[in-house]
Amino acid sequence: MKKTLILVLLLTGCATPGAVTQKPDPKQVDEMRATAKTLAMQLGGKLKAEMEANGPAAAVGVCKKIAPQIAADLSKQTGWKVGRVGTRVRNAETGTPDAWNAKALAEFSQRMKQGEKPDAMELAEVVAEPSGKYLRYAKAIAVQPLCLTCHGSPKDIPEGVKARLQAEYPMDKATGYSLGELRGAVVVKRPL
């Protein structure tokens, strides 16, 4: 009886999408962590500067142009796939998590429920996909005060920003967040 249970647990463990038992190389994870940090810092810096200089409604347009640009530049520099995904998305094309990213977000959300702080929360795994083996990395992003202007509940979002979001992202799902909530993750995918 006990043996059967263990076997079932083992089998269901192996059925997790694509995960393999190979341990990620800590040095490679360090490099991916640094890349994720660069993306977050470059984007955060640009966003803040633009909001201070021209106001949040103008910053929506900047974010639309700059966010994909920073991700594309870092992807080109490293040869890896670098980006951001959301628990709910504004830009469905770039921000929708695939199976592994969705698993990472679900895990982060669970860990936050158990009281872990999102600041240093990350996940790194070697994953086998049809096109080959990859090292996958995700770093949790929590909602800070600044984010509420464009991702908060209707009362937090100025009218000008609402109009701009409606025009640029008619299918926007990335509002209604509260402070400290899990917003998404910076993600890096590196071929092995």
Residue 111's closest CA among 185, 190, 34, 53?
185
Our CB check for ligand HEC shows the closer of 16 and 54 to be 54
Whole-number Å distance between alpha carbons of 139 and 183: 11
By CB under 6 A, the residues from 124 to 143 that bind ligand HEC are 141, 143
Shortest distance (Å) from residue 88 CB to ligand HEC: 7
Name which of 85 and 126 has its Cβ closer to ligand HEC.
85
Which of 103, 10, 38, 152 is CA-nearest to residue 111? Answer: 103
Q: For residues 28 and 38, which CB has a smaller minimum distance to ligand HEC in the complex? A: 38
Using alpha carbons, list the distances in angstroms from residue 41 to 71, 103, 138. Answer: 12, 25, 16
Binding-site residue total for ligand HEC (CB under 6 A)?
A: 29
Nearer to ligand HEC, 19 or 66 (CB): 66
Contact call for residue 60 and ligand HEC (CB under 6 A) = yes
| Burial degree of 41 (CB within 10 A; 0-12, 13-18, 19+) | exposed
Minimum separation from the CB atom of position 106 to ligand HEC (A): 16
**Residue 87: exposure state from Cβ atoms within 10 A (0-12, 13-18, ≥19):** buried
Contact positions toward ligand HEC, by CB under 6 A? 44, 47, 51, 56, 59-60, 63-64, 67-68, 84-86, 89-91, 94-95, 141, 143-144, 146-147, 149-151, 174, 183-184
